Amino acid sequence: MAKYVFVTGGVTSSLGKGIIAASLAKLLQARGFTTTIQKFDPYINVDPGTLNPYEHGECYVTEDGAETDLDLGHYERFLSTPTSQANNVTTGRIYQTVINKERAGEFLGKTVQVVPHITDEIKRRMLLLGTDGKFDIVITEIGGTVGDIESTPFIETVRQIQWELPEEDVMVVHLTLIPYLNAAKELKTKPTQHSVRMLSETGVHPDVIVCRTEHPLNDEIKRKIALFCNVKAGNVIESLDAKTIYEVPLLMQKEQLDLIVLKKLNIQNYKQPDLVKWNVFLDKLRNPKSTVNIGLIGKYIELQDAYKSILESFIHAGAMNEVKVNVVNVHSEKITDENVNEQLAGLHGLLVAPGFGNRGIEGKIVAVKYARENNLPFFGICLGMQMAVIEYARNILHLKGAHSVEMDPNTEHPVIDMMEDQKRITMKGGTMRLGSYPCTITKDTLAYKIYGSTSIHERHRHRYEFNNTFLKLFQEKGMVTSGVNPELGLVEIVELPNHPFFIGVQYHPELKSTVEQPAPLFVHFIAAAKAQAAKKG
């Protein structure tokens, strides 16, 4: 059986519970423990796959094809171990399971209630990842803020687990905010006291309080919080604002969060933390030798969380290349034939982002054309790859009005078409082509140079695909389809040989980029941009 750490949040949302959970997991991993992190989200959607990125940021996809919260991306980027369907559970998923059981007659004769039926299902899932011996420590982040009506059943379940399991097998870390009042020149502890009191009223008592703060906390404040919140004096720690999220594990190490946790969980055998690779990465990140300007062409650019994994992949690949990646957000709706020179001036590489629907599509196609004609390194992901195909069809194959059936169902030249097995699907949730699939790469191509292998696996999230009826035509005119799904023949990678770097992929390489294993496509794309910058300045 594993030991369990629950992470709750108080005072306000957006304090970075996910980063604190991931940092703690990283420190425990560095000390030789197997850890995993799971997130329980209070909303009713069965998963975030049906949410607009403006609502909830990027939808992160796991190896096994779960559409999940973007915090799972942080967990993987920090730990370099894959998460799965079981690592993200929503209230909707819990209710769906319980209601299905009720319909199947499993509770026959009984009134189905929040306590115990909903909480029993929450408990089953909270403990699940710790039952097969794979993990020493399971960290569970409870989404939302203590006091929210929606998260009450989750908190109640944490209470039951705290009550049922041996004291040394469970603990609660509560993350709160210590605001600084400029007028009074003072840090204020009252909101924290209230949030801990609210948590205590539900019967859950925190063992550690992590205080987010813009100013260091002195011992007196820490003692005050400990006293009023009834936790041990050494168990109040500060989490100062960091320059990058990747510094947070080291900040937490300085505050001894890992040692406090190991002590509470009564774990005595642990080694000195091995953070060598992590520190090499941080060192490169902090000391770039030059800068590259990368245009991110998308339609959700007002909300950076919509492209979270892509932005983090740039950071990993930048460090690997010892350059700072300056991401220039370009709204695809604003790009036209007339202004493209101006809009994309000064860029050393162009990434056309994934997406859905018609908005901003023509701007993306204009951007691809610009990159192709001007020898600007180009990298298209999912919809971005599809736009590269459409651009080539229109301008090189002279297929006028060529399009994706997603945008123009009546197009004369459907170079991007709906996948056969998608045509029968009417339900929206969890029905795209999702998760990891194999891809066979042809030798002597850019893709082969990048991956150094003929067989790779990458993650997917799409309904449309390259239409193989046009395959020959594209090949004859110079587009190389360098990666193909071995079973279905679906085109996974397209590239142009007579270009410094032009590649589009149907899958999402950004979902597998981690600090210790940056995605090869991003590393090579940034290397190409670096070469471009050296040439053009």
For residue 385, the minimal CB distance to ligand GLN (Å) is: 8
Closest listed residue to residue 508, CA positions, set 73, 48, 89, 53: 73
Q: Which span (161-169, 239-247, 456-464, 494-502) binds ligand GLN, by CB under 6 A?
A: 456-464
- The residues facing 8 across adjacent strands are 174
Q: Where are the alpha helices (DSSP H) in 255-343?
A: 257-264, 276-286, 308-321, 340-343
Q: Which span (234-242, 361-369, 438-446, 462-470) binds ligand GLN, by CB under 6 A?
A: 462-470
Site size with ligand GLN, rule: CB under 6 A:
10
Q: Which span (351-359, 365-373, 389-397, 484-492) binds ligand GLN, by CB under 6 A?
A: 351-359
Cα gap 394→400, rounded to integer Å: 5
Specify the amino acid at residue 95. Y
Q: Considering only residues 463, 471, 473, 531, which one is a binding residue for ligand GLN as defined by CB under 6 A?
A: 463
For residue 45, the minimal CB distance to ligand GLN (Å) is: 18
**Catalytic residue IDs:** 382, 508, 510
Distances in Å between the Cα of 124 and the Cα atoms of 25, 67, 98, 131, 282 are 22, 21, 12, 10, 38
Q: Which of residues 395-434 bind ligand GLN (CB under 6 A)?
A: 406
Place of tokens 């300085």: 254
Both tokens of 257, joined, read 């969060």
For residue 529, the minimal CB distance to ligand GLN (Å) is: 22
Q: How many helices (H) and strands (E) does the chain have?
A: 18, 23
Helix (H) or strand (E) holding 138: strand 137-142
For residue 390, the minimal CB distance to ligand GLN (Å) is: 12
Does residue 464 belong to the site contacting ligand GLN (CB under 6 A)?
Answer: yes
Does residue 123 belong to the site contacting ligand GLN (CB under 6 A)?
Answer: no
For residue 77, the minimal CB distance to ligand GLN (Å) is: 19
Cα gap 469→483, rounded to integer Å: 17
Q: Considering only residues 24, 175, 382, 387, which one is a binding residue for ligand GLN as defined by CB under 6 A?
A: 382
Main-chain phi, psi angles of 378, to 5 degrees: -130, 140
Closer to ligand GLN at the Cβ: 110 or 424?
Answer: 424
Which pairing describes strands 236-240 and 208-213: parallel, antiparallel, or unpaired? parallel
The 3-state DSSP class for residue 73 equals helix
Extended beta strands in 155-279, E state = 170-177, 180-181, 186-187, 208-213, 236-240
Q: Considering only residues 222, 403, 461, 530, which one is a binding residue for ligand GLN as defined by CB under 6 A?
A: 461
Does residue 354 belong to the site contacting ligand GLN (CB under 6 A)?
Answer: yes
Which pairing describes strands 480-484 and 491-495: parallel, antiparallel, or unpaired? antiparallel
Q: Which span (187-195, 214-222, 352-360, 476-484) binds ligand GLN, by CB under 6 A?
A: 352-360
Both tokens of 177, joined, read 């905010």
Specify the amino acid at residue 248. V
For residue 14, the minimal CB distance to ligand GLN (Å) is: 25
Q: Considering only residues 237, 383, 480, 494, which one is a binding residue for ligand GLN as defined by CB under 6 A?
A: 383
Q: Which of residues 175-194 bind ligand GLN (CB under 6 A)?
A: none
Closest listed residue to residue 464, CA positions, set 391, 355, 359: 355
Closer to ligand GLN at the Cβ: 144 or 435?
Answer: 435
How many Å separate Cα 205 from the centre of its chain? 30
For residue 491, the minimal CB distance to ligand GLN (Å) is: 12
Cα gap 165→183, rounded to integer Å: 46
Q: Considering only residues 42, 82, 355, 518, which one is a binding residue for ligand GLN as defined by CB under 6 A?
A: 355
Does residue 299 belong to the site contacting ligand GLN (CB under 6 A)?
Answer: no
Q: Which span (15-23, 40-48, 264-272, 458-466) binds ligand GLN, by CB under 6 A?
A: 458-466
Closer to ligand GLN at the Cβ: 35 or 506?
Answer: 506
Does residue 50 belong to the site contacting ligand GLN (CB under 6 A)?
Answer: no
Footprint of ligand GLN (CB under 6 A): 354-356, 382-383, 406, 461-464
